[in-house]
Structure 1
Amino acid sequence: MSNSATSFQALRRLLRYARGYRRRIVAASACSIVNKLFDIAPEILIGVAIDVVVNQERSFVARVGFETAQQQILVLAVLTFFIWAGESLFEYLYQVLWRNLAQRLQADLRQDSYEHAQRLDMAYFESRSSGQLVATMNDDVNQLERFLDGGANAMIQVGVTVVAVGAVFFVISPLIALLAFTPIPLIIWGAFFFQRKAGPLYADVREKVGDLASRLGNNLAGIATIKSFTSEAREAERLREVSEAYVEANRRAIQVSSAFIPVIRMAILAGFLATFTVGGMLALRGDLNVGAYGVLVFLTQRLLWPLTGLAEVIDLFERAMASTRRILDLLAVPITVRDNHGASLPEPVRGEVSFERVSFRYGSSGEGVEGVSLHVPAGNTLALVGATGSGKSTLVKLLLRFYDPDSGRICIDGQPIDGVSLASLRGAIGLVSQDVYLFEGSVRDNIAYGRPQASEAEVIEAARTAEAWEFIQALPQGLDTAVGERGVRLSGGQRQRLSLARALLKDPPILVLDEATSAVDNETEAAIQRSLARIGHGRTVIMIAHRLSTIVHADEIVVIEGGRVAEHGTHDSLLAADGRYAAQWRVQTGALATADVE
């Protein structure tokens, strides 16, 4: 498919998306059309005025009832006033309508693309950089806004100019009309020629914008690592390379788009000279009214010179359509994890969890789980252990329906989780992971994230239960202390305790701890263990742990190996079985004993 067809296909897709804005689009387009009609009218009045001065009582205006030249001039003055007033009014209207439409549409596109992205399964985010997504939702949407803000009106008015001025030309002199319009096919061909050349170049520009945003986002997020390895110069050079690639992509696009105006100017000159010379000769012979000749000369400029703006319009159009394709392609990504709105888990949720011959493989790596069957009675604690990549976290992702299993099913209280709404499912589960994410804001905001309406007393109680209240009180503003981006102003242990408090305030019947104590110090681990001992009563707890000392009191321990259940039982029974768990226990306790001796 040609680039021009691709761009117009993107435009059709955009118009389908914007069908709810059709009345606004029609109103804005109508104002653009009326404004342009008023805009070309003064050139006609200039010709009429010349006709009045030259022919006076024999002028065109005299034939409609105004006999004296003075009356005719006054009539033209009144018409000029109303034409200029009308032009100004409709210019105000089309600017307001187009700009408000641009703002409304870009806001809705950004919101819709973000909400759609939130509903996509985790595999989509694992295969794409966040920088590319941010560039699509921000910079690409802004490119479309810039086109709607001025380019759409310019395209409409160029079309109106050609039609309206062409009609006047053919009424006055078909011969001169043909001469004046001769360059237009060349101009239009040139516009599409440059558009075909510019289309892929601007698509490349959009890709380079995403690469640049991704590099900036990754570097700023990893600034501590960059500093610790004194890699500032190397990362600055890598950013320079990506930035230069963006500059080079823009340079190629600019080189093509900038060549358009000089070529078109020569075509315009040919049309203007034809009108100027041939019309002048006809006027000198008396075959063409002097006033009509003036109209033709002025309208030739009005017809042809705006066509030089096609370069800028096409530039805006190509940038906008390249961005539109990226935005609408994001909106077209299918949602594989379907939400069953309206269906809920039976209340009250007891917390019984079962995996029934569940199998799942990641498309990218082929790793996953195979035929896993587990049963966790309500109020019990299940611990999952195994080597990194064995499939433990995959089971948690399947329980939360970040992915759907390839086969088998997962039930809560006997209800298959794919038959209930995501809000009901995830509302019943509290997740505390190793990689704690805190949002920029206050300590209070982060603890109350799952229940924004919670009272201060409830927030404090959750903090006490998570053994976070003591350090929160020591912070400069207590609960109102800002945690910084991703909680950078807090220690790892503090962030982990806030994450636990956040899950506790949600008060879920099922609590999932995904290696929640693996990255904290011994004191924090002991504090979290005390918290878990208190909150585990009457609540189903699923724990993933590398430190076996943290799970010795679990009701059942399951060893996952290669995506399958290798062993299961209590701590004592697994030690007695002298299998994989017992071997790992001896390694960890032996290492601890050695550390104690040292």
Structure 2
Amino acid sequence: MRGERGARRRDSGVTADAGTPEVNTWAALTDLVRLVARSGAPQLRLRLAAAVLLTLGGRALGVLAPLALGAAVNALAAGQGPAVALSLGFTAFAVGYALIRFLSGAAPQLSDVVFAPVRAAAQRRTAAEAFAHALSLSLDFHQTKRSGSLSRTVERGSRAVDFLLRVLAFNLVPTGLELVLAAGVLAGRYDWRFGAVAVVVVAVYAVSTFALSNWRLEHRRIMNQADSAAAGQAVDAFLNYETVKAFGAEGRAAASYDAALATYTRASLKANSSLALLNVIQSGIMNLGLGVMAVMAGMEAAAGRMGPGDVTAAVLIMISLYQPLNILGFAYREVRQSFIDMEEMLKVTRQQPLVADAPAAVALPRRMDARGARIVFEGVGYRHDARANGLEDVSFVAEPGTTVALVGPSGAGKSTIVKLALRLIDPQAGRVLIDGLDAREVQQASLRSAVALVPQDVALFNDTLQANIAFARPEASEADILAAAEAAELGEFIRGLPQGMATMVGERGLKLSGGERQRVGIARALLADPSLLILDEATSALDSRTEQAIQKTLRRARAGRTTLVVAHRLSTVADADQILVLKAGRVVEQGAHHQLVARVGGEYAALWRKQTRGARRPEATTEG
């Protein structure tokens, strides 16, 4: 188990052995072979064949090397004159032993060099496929997954492929073949009992190692859980450092982290103690086997059936068998966990998205007359699993170039309509039409290229301002990007930055204020030049002056394209061509602003009076 000591720190943060289910070994091996087959590695078959031959050749030479040394010792003790013995037999066999040992050590290294491109290609293809497939999965999948956990699943799965190819295919399996070869050589060259001892000792060693490793899994599980808990405490505190400082909770956060570390330390000590016990037991079995083999060989030599060199060769063969077994416990646990990690990643790739392109899906034709898209909701119904209410029989038409506003209390269904328009989800009843085509019959890529969303909380990448604005259209020229930034009232802000458009915005855009992030999102949407512009509380984070400026910009941006606006402040949508008032998933009122305000006892009229009355109170207080 000496190999496990060096690997303990590497995998201490992985939730290995944490009660994860067993996998079907043969099915997992089949998956591994398929991953290698589609890896796209250069000269795959040639490299695979060469690596296997080199590995097996190295193992065979490792068994033959002790025989050469044994022959050298026998030649030295053959009763010839010292000069003759040293110059002829011994020298020849000794040089042969050194050469064979060199070749047996070099062969695995050459095998690793030959097969390394295949492992790298398989790991890369696996990670790329899993990442791309995870991104293609529907909104419902990502809403039930932690992003960090999903990322770790892909990372661990791709690394597992590399580990399995390196250790399982070119270490454990060749070691088993080496055992068979060694037992055959010992039985054929000397006595069947020598081969039996080698097989029995290795079998006892393997069985005891597997049993003790399984017993240690509980210690490892507790240690890994404690390590993950400590890491989680630290990450949470660092991500929310402003909240920690605002409430003066530095001491509490540090104490919680220290408590998690204490649990980890106790579990780590138990794991280390059990590792030491395993090492002692393994060492005892190995040395007992060597002692038995040496005694048997000595008795044969005393009886004249073996020479001194044969005793040396028998013992060296046993020692060469033990060398790869040093990491057996570590390899067993890691191979077991790697199969689990690989299967967990493959579970992601086997997930089928609920929202997928139909086999006969067509590209959404882009209007050339700059009138925007025509959006029709026909009796649309949708119910979320986690909510009691959903959309029920929602119908409306957004004519090309018009603005439709969605208003109503939280949970009324406004965001669900936005998701349906983007086809992040599909209706469970009715249909959504875009320019006369059912959204389910349109290729998602073409639909998304025709739609731009400015959400309430704009998500930015940890990149430059230019890269974040250009994310909507990466091929856009610098002039177009600057024009979009100017249109979103970002020009003065960018000109005041030392690095201008090359300024890094930080993780999630935290180096920018809320209003600045919102304007970057608006610039990104304007650069996309969409047929359908969706504004989901797009100016909610802006101050009054900036909001008024942005509203003017958005009014210009809405010209020539269909716009869907979600708003709580009714004053921002008073100029909309059509306003839909939603309540409990239903459209309870529909019309222009002046029509809805004039409706006695209407929902919209009540909301308007409440908001305008609340807006006048500060003015009256100031004037008084």
Output the TM-score relative to the length of structure 2.
0.86
- In structure 1, the partner of 2:62 is 39
1:300-333 deviation line (CA, Å, top 9, x unaligned)? 2222454233122223323423422332222233
- In structure 2, the partner of 1:264 is 282
d(CA) in 2 for partners of 1:248, 1:114: 37
**Are 1:551 and 2:573 matched, yes or no?**
yes
2:471 alignment partner, SS class: coil
d(CA) in 2 for partners of 1:122, 1:316: 34
- In structure 1, the partner of 2:363 is 344
Q: What letter corresponds to residue 62 of structure 2 in structure 1?
A: D
d(CA) in 2 for partners of 1:219, 1:256: 33
- In structure 1, the partner of 2:305 is 287
- In structure 2, the partner of 1:48 is 71
Aligned length: 590
Say if 1:468 and 1:234 are closer, same or farther in 2 by CA, change over 3 A.
Answer: same
Residues 161-180 of structure 1 correspond to what in structure 2 (within 5 A)?
A: 161-171=178-188, 172-180=190-198
Specify which of 341, 344, 352 is matched with residue 326 of structure 1.
Answer: 344
d(CA) in 1 for partners of 2:76, 2:90: 9
Q: Is the 8 A contact 1:352 1:412 kept in 2?
A: yes
Once the 2 structures are TM-superposed, how far is the Cα of residue 288 of structure 1 from its aligned partner?
Answer: 2.7
Q: Is the 8 A contact 2:73 2:90 kept in 1?
A: no
Of 67-76 and 275-284, more deviation after overlay is shown by 67-76
d(CA) in 2 for partners of 1:490, 1:286: 88
- In structure 2, the partner of 1:63 is none
Once the 2 structures are TM-superposed, how far is the Cα of residue 77 of structure 1 from its aligned partner?
Answer: 4.7
1:363-399 deviation line (CA, Å, top 9, x unaligned)? 2334431221121011110000011111101111122
Say if 1:540 and 1:344 are closer, same or farther in 2 by CA, change over 3 A.
Answer: same
2:582 alignment partner, SS class: strand
Of 36-45 and 388-397, more deviation after overlay is shown by 36-45
- In structure 1, the partner of 2:452 is 430
**Are 1:541 and 2:563 matched, yes or no?**
yes
Once the 2 structures are TM-superposed, how far is the Cα of residue 252 of structure 1 from its aligned partner?
Answer: 6.0
1:577 alignment partner, SS class: coil
1:47-75 deviation line (CA, Å, top 9, x unaligned)? 111121223689xxxxxxxx987443453
d(CA) in 2 for partners of 1:333, 1:200: 31
Say if 1:243 and 1:481 are closer, same or farther in 2 by CA, change over 3 A.
Answer: same
**Are 1:105 and 2:128 matched, yes or no?**
no
Specify which of 401, 406, 430 is matched with residue 379 of structure 1.
Answer: 401
Q: Is the 8 A contact 1:33 1:156 kept in 2?
A: no
Q: Is the 8 A contact 1:199 1:322 kept in 2?
A: no
d(CA) in 2 for partners of 1:323, 1:266: 33
Say if 1:221 and 1:367 are closer, same or farther in 2 by CA, change over 3 A.
Answer: farther
d(CA) in 2 for partners of 1:334, 1:229: 44
Q: What letter corresponds to residue 385 of structure 1 in structure 2?
A: V
1:414-435 deviation line (CA, Å, top 9, x unaligned)? 1111112111011110100110
d(CA) in 2 for partners of 1:245, 1:100: 42
- In structure 1, the partner of 2:3 is none
Once the 2 structures are TM-superposed, how far is the Cα of residue 153 of structure 1 from its aligned partner?
Answer: 3.2
Q: What letter corresponds to residue 591 of structure 1 in structure 2?
A: G
1:513 alignment partner, SS class: strand
- In structure 1, the partner of 2:414 is 392
Of 151-160 and 309-318, more deviation after overlay is shown by 151-160
**Are 1:524 and 2:542 matched, yes or no?**
no
- In structure 2, the partner of 1:154 is 171
d(CA) in 1 for partners of 2:535, 2:80: 97
2:326 alignment partner, SS class: helix
1:339 alignment partner, SS class: coil
Say if 1:200 and 1:298 are closer, same or farther in 2 by CA, change over 3 A.
Answer: same
Residues 137-148 of structure 1 correspond to what in structure 2 (within 5 A)?
A: 137-139=154-156, 141-142=158-159, 145-146=162-163, 148=165
Q: Which runs of 5+ in 1 are unaligned?
A: 59-66
2:498 alignment partner, SS class: coil
Q: What letter corresponds to residue 415 of structure 1 in structure 2?
A: L
Say if 1:334 and 1:217 are closer, same or farther in 2 by CA, change over 3 A.
Answer: farther
Once the 2 structures are TM-superposed, how far is the Cα of residue 95 of structure 1 from its aligned partner?
Answer: 2.7
Q: What letter corresponds to residue 597 of structure 1 in structure 2?
A: A
1:295 alignment partner, SS class: helix
Of 351-360 and 501-510, more deviation after overlay is shown by 351-360
Once the 2 structures are TM-superposed, how far is the Cα of residue 120 of structure 1 from its aligned partner?
Answer: 1.4
Q: Is the 8 A contact 2:66 2:317 kept in 1?
A: yes
Say if 1:127 and 1:200 are closer, same or farther in 2 by CA, change over 3 A.
Answer: farther
2:305 alignment partner, SS class: coil
Say if 1:212 and 1:381 are closer, same or farther in 2 by CA, change over 3 A.
Answer: farther
Output the TM-score relative to the length of structure 1.
0.90
Say if 1:250 and 1:17 are closer, same or farther in 2 by CA, change over 3 A.
Answer: farther
- In structure 1, the partner of 2:319 is 301
- In structure 1, the partner of 2:7 is none
Q: Is the 8 A contact 2:464 2:504 kept in 1?
A: yes
Q: Is the 8 A contact 2:127 2:157 kept in 1?
A: no
d(CA) in 1 for partners of 2:22, 2:433: 52
Once the 2 structures are TM-superposed, how far is the Cα of residue 298 of structure 1 from its aligned partner?
Answer: 1.6
Q: Is the 8 A contact 1:257 1:311 kept in 2?
A: no
Identity of matched residues, %: 31
- In structure 2, the partner of 1:15 is 33
Q: What letter corresponds to residue 491 of structure 2 in structure 1?
A: W
Q: What letter corresponds to residue 13 of structure 1 in structure 2?
A: D
